[in-house]
Amino acid sequence: MPGSPQLVLTVDRSGRGDHRTIQDAIDAAPADTAGGSVVVIRIKPGEEKVVVGKPRISLVGTNAGSTVVTWNESSSVVAASAASPSSTVSVLASDFIAKRLTFQNTIGSSGPAVTVRVAGDRAAFYGCRFVSSQDTLLDDTGRHYYRGCYVEGATDLICGNGKALFDKCHLHSTSPVGGAGAFTAHRRSSESEDTGFSFVGCRLTGLGVATSILGRPRGPCSRVVFALSYMSSTVSPEGWDDDCSDPAKRRCRTAFYGQYQCYGEGSKTDGRVAWSRDLSQAEAAPFITKVWVGGQEWLR
């Protein structure tokens, strides 16, 4: 919260800081930050696997172009959702903030390679970059806010079952021509779950024409909205995965996929799957402000 007291720790692998690794700094932070105090960890780049298991931790870099936290491990998304063995960084506690950092998983295209798993409530990322090949950002559970961030990958760039607002972010697909890229893969299993991904004022780009869809339903009630966003020709005309071929799934009947006042070659709705939605202002309103993630109560 504004005005909260801070404990500042510095991570420098050369030994000129308070700690040599990010994990050492997190482990040294108080487990119970009384009075809403925040632990700010200023970090230098390096190769490290990090687990944030304490609340009110902030990771701050100097510049996302130069402050890179990297790892190189792959796993199935099912496993990642449970224990997150592949994540470069796992955020498991509430009230987390990251600023001006690049999170990277360099395992390549051999399988899912999560950069960050976000499984704590009230997490915010500002000016961060997430770079991998598959399942780049696992927005797993909780309410999350991303402002001015960059997400890169070949397929399922953003997956999970969180409730997230992406504000003025850039999504870049590295799926090749003839590939099967997807910008999102939201996992919502029932309409009673208050989850979904909302993208407002974002940019969607890629390596070629019609190489990626906006999303595919990893759960039967997947919910994704794009509003006021630029879509390049990399977005396929159908827009969404028409997962109706399997009678056991019929996910297109229960998924909520829509767009509102988007622009660019890839935003045209005349070729979209029949069940996607071209939202009215009233329909889009719940998705396009910080109220979507309750941000008026916790974003600082």
Structural contact between residues 201 and 229, judged by C-beta atoms closer than 8 angstroms: yes
Q: How far is CA 213 from CA 11, 173, 183, 268, in A?
A: 40, 10, 6, 13
pLDDT interval class at 82 (50, 70, 90): very low
Q: Which of 95, 121, 140, 156 is catalytic?
A: 156
Structural contact between residues 120 and 99, judged by C-beta atoms closer than 8 angstroms: no
Predicted confidence (pLDDT) at residue 151 exceeds the cutoff of 50:
yes
156 among known catalytic residues: yes
For residues 37 and 20, give the distance between their C-alpha atoms in angstroms, rounded to a whole number: 23
For residues 34 and 189, give the distance between their C-alpha atoms in angstroms, rounded to a whole number: 37
pLDDT digits (tens, 9 = 90+) for 154-189: 999 999 999 999 999 999 999 988 778 999 999 998
Q: Which of 135, 140, 241, 243 is catalytic?
A: 135
Residue 254: its pLDDT value, please? 83
Place of tokens 């990893």: 218
Residue 247: its pLDDT value, please? 55
Structural contact between residues 150 and 124, judged by C-beta atoms closer than 8 angstroms: no
Q: Which of 230-234, 237-241, 248-252 has maximum average pLDDT?
A: 230-234
89-117: average pLDDT: 92
Q: Which of 8-17, 101-110, 196-205 has maximum average pLDDT?
A: 196-205
167 among known catalytic residues: no
Torsion of CA 145, 108, 220, 123, to 10 degrees: -20
For residues 34 and 29, give the distance between their C-alpha atoms in angstroms, rounded to a whole number: 12
Predicted confidence (pLDDT) at residue 1 exceeds the cutoff of 50:
no
pLDDT digits (tens, 9 = 90+) for 273-295: 888 899 999 999 999 999 999 99
Task: Give all domains of the chain, ordered by start, each with its CATH number.
Answer: 49-292 (2.160.20.10)
Number of other residues whose CB lies within 10 A of the CB of residue 207: 16
pLDDT digits (tens, 9 = 90+) for 18-67: 999 999 999 999 887 656 789 999 998 888 899 999 999 999 999 999 99
Q: Give the predicted TM-score (pTM) of the model.
A: 0.93
Predicted confidence (pLDDT) at residue 83 exceeds the cutoff of 50:
no
224-234: average pLDDT: 97
